[in-house]
Amino acid sequence: MRITIPCPDVQSYEENPKSFLPPKATCVNDPSHRTQWHASWSRGLCWDHVHVRTLFIFNAYCVDCRETISYWPEFVLPYPREPLETYEEVLVEHLNGASLRESSAKIAYDPRTVSRWIHLALSQALVLVGRVIPCILRLLSETILPLSASSDWEAAQLLMAWLRALAQGTDFPRFDRLMGLCNLHSEGAWDLWGGPLGNAKSRVKETSPPG
Ligand SMILES: [Zn+2]
């Protein structure tokens, strides 16, 4: 299971990632389950679209579920090397009518790569919309019926609009990380938006567990 942790700035996480972890790992299936911290592993993050920096991701283990619990800072998705803001930016530009060529030129990527990112985010929006919007309505104590989406494009638009309303309603200040806000509320119940569904590949490099 993956748990997203709030993390306003990347540099603070790089300097002291353990300070963003809870004192004790909690199993999302049942908080009374026994957990223990495990090794961390490192992954690259291509912050400026060119240079790769190393980030540590921390794992815990639920003894009762026999399952790994990984703690992900909100700005990073399971497999892609770019920070979440980059994926969100190209998705929002696409929804606002920007061409793939424009979006990819800005970050010096191949338009085919950017097209893959957008396609992935749109297809996941269609899967997530039915689960995420009812959750947002609950969090905002709204009783209106959510609109249904008839296409992946509409699903992504609805999700982004409702996530923006949630950010405003809860004083979440990072409007370029609405996908991260979405993941923060998932409590491990859905896969992280914007990353490929399935297994995130780790490059295991052990450091001492926190504490
Ligand atoms: Zn458990």
**DSSP-assigned beta bridge partners for residue 52:** 46
Please give the distance, rounded to the nearest whole angstrom, from the Cα atom of residue 36 to the centre of ligand 1. 11
Instruction: Tell me the CA–centroid distance for residue 188 and ligand 1, in Å.
Output: 12
pLDDT for the residue 153: 94
pLDDT along the chain (211 residues), means of 10: 90 93 92 94 87 92 93 86 91 95 93 93 89 90 81 94 96 94 83 58 41 47
Would you state the pLDDT for residue 186?
83
Beta strands 52-62 and 35-46, pairing class: antiparallel
- Distance from the CA of 65 to the center of ligand 1, in angstroms? 4
pLDDT at 31: 92
- pLDDT, position 193: 75
Measured in Å, residue 15 CA sits from the centre of ligand 1 at 30
Ligand 1 centroid to Cα of residue 32, in Å, is 8
Scored b (16 or more CB within 10 A) or e, 139-157 reads: eeeeeeeeeebeebebbbb
CB contact at 8 A, 33 and 64: yes
26 CA distance to ligand 1 middle (Å): 8
